[in-house]
Structure 1
């Protein structure tokens, strides 16, 4: 039996969010490989160029035009903060601190998203969302502490990861109103292009390092652009247009748990019991934050408006 029409948009948004979370989790494994051959700025530029090229082809095939003027403010801000600045400082930060510390600090982002969404857009902060985020954050702390190694972190690295979390939150909040005027594909494509332009000062490094990089590292960089960037950021924007920023931010707490699982399967890094317990808490918190009470009121999330260029 097919889902009721009123439930179909919600199920599609949940599916899009799930695709985003899985692909973003896979990005951590690919960044670890590509980061051995590419510097932070070069890796960010290569990833963004691959993503922009992929998205540009899709836009041409779908005959998507330029975003309407009211959407450009959000596209520019999210492109600079999230696609550009965030990727560079996160790549840099992960070279200064161990993976556990990076995951721990960056996971401040969803909390900032929920607070900013409530402050700027009047998004509701229902008890289930707050409780779920608290459980997931506790899980992220557990995963981070269990994966942190002695002597592998620096104050600079922690500051860089914190800046990445702030840029991530600011980018998401800026992107939300843009999705009221343009399609998810338009917002993602032009945001990625803005980020790539901002990272052009690293073009010389990219050319030099690509000439000497092993093929697996370059393929991982291209993978980061096509899937965790082009596809995952588009599915993220699609889902964000149909729910609140806080709820979407809480969903990303599933990423640390999936990273642990993927590292186990792909890199043969066997997690300890504490790491597995933290991952389970992350998933449990996401389940709580996305659940609804029997008498819960509908979320305050406007339906995206169609544009002249169509929807994604």
Structure 2
């Protein structure tokens, strides 16, 4: 089946606001992770983030009285929780310690492409031409950003490359698995239980987390709390809300705005002045998103 641009579900104003919130908060996560990485190991950082996110989501779920996750939503939520909330976060945190930021950005950039391909194949979303064209432009922009930030492979390792590729595959698999679950459970239910499952999968890192929280400065711990409350609890919920109203491929394409926002946030918050080539790559990412959203 081949969906045309006019056949695909269109986002309303609330869904667009939700998608925008997700993209901005996920971009801010890269800055926060960079600030906390000197004091937290990859697994401990993932568990701390998921623990805070799970606590906030559970409190909201009880407050809204949405009840337990429907049985039909469990398979997709469980797969998404293990792959996206658990494996993706640990693999990405670990991979970014083994390769430079530019290489990581290029490797993880295949995630939205995989989402579009898997969504078209497994979910019957088809392969709209404008979506594929926009993603091609955005992926080219991600490569340009990566090349401009790369250190020429210095410090990179085969393990790091494998971890970043694994993170991209886990991300794509988690998104595609989550989409059917949203037919049966609410965005808040699916996000809450997915985050809980991811936290349980990361429990082997609990010992390290306790040790590192005790030794870390307050600013680093505050970054972990921020990651749990906003880029996890809030952003994953707004993502689920938006993706329940459109295709996984189209939502995946919007995440190509993240590299451009990361460049701007790093510039303003961390004083990391981008090169002209980096700005060009960011502009291409945004242009591709604009094409894919048409």
* Maintained 8 Å contact 2:102/2:150: yes
- Establish whether residue 264 from structure 1 lines up as the match of residue 267 from structure 2: yes
Cross-structure match for 1:310:
none
Q: CA offset at residue 8 of structure 1?
A: 9.6
Cross-structure match for 2:162:
159
Select which of 88, 94, 97 maps to 1:95.
97
Select which of 42, 50, 53 maps to 1:51.
53
Q: CA offset at residue 152 of structure 1?
A: 2.6
Cross-structure match for 1:20:
22
Distance 2:122 2:159 in 1: 31
Write the deviation string for residues 43-95 of structure 1: whole angstroms up to 9, x where unpaired.
Answer: 00000000000101111110110011000001100000000011001000011
Please show how residues 84-163 of structure 1 align to structure 2 within 5 Å.
84-150=86-152, 151-163=154-166
Q: Unpaired segments of 5 or more residues in structure 1?
A: 1-6, 292-312
TM-score (norm 1): 0.90
Cross-structure match for 2:78:
76
Q: What SS does the aligned partner of 1:223 have?
A: helix
Distance 1:11 1:102 in 2: 33
- Establish whether residue 251 from structure 1 lines up as the match of residue 254 from structure 2: yes
Write the deviation string for residues 229-286 of structure 1: whole angstroms up to 9, x where unpaired.
Answer: 0000000000010000110110000000000000000001110100000000000000
Aligned residues: 285
Select which of 180, 183, 188 maps to 2:183.
180
Q: CA offset at residue 208 of structure 1?
A: 0.6
- Establish whether residue 29 from structure 1 lines up as the match of residue 31 from structure 2: yes
Q: CA offset at residue 124 of structure 1?
A: 2.5
Distance 1:221 1:77 in 2: 24
Alpha carbons of 1:98 and 1:193: their partners in 2 closer, same or farther (altered >3 Å)? same
Select which of 214, 219, 222 maps to 1:216.
219
Q: What SS does the aligned partner of 2:168 have?
A: helix
Q: Unpaired segments of 5 or more residues in structure 2?
A: 1-8
Any runs of at least 4 consecutive aligned residues in structure 1 with deviations exceeding 4 A, and if so which? none
Distance 2:236 2:105 in 1: 19
Distance 1:8 1:133 in 2: 17
* Maintained 8 Å contact 2:263/2:282: yes
Distance 1:107 1:184 in 2: 25
Select which of 274, 280, 285 maps to 2:277.
274
Distance 2:32 2:183 in 1: 33
Cross-structure match for 2:245:
242
Taking only aligned residues, the RMSD between alpha carbons, in angstroms, comes to 1.1
Distance 1:34 1:283 in 2: 28
Q: CA offset at residue 138 of structure 1?
A: 0.2
Please show how residues 267-306 of structure 1 align to structure 2 within 5 Å.
267-291=270-294
Q: What SS does the aligned partner of 1:230 have?
A: helix
Distance 1:104 1:10 in 2: 31
Distance 1:146 1:152 in 2: 16
TM-score (norm 2): 0.95
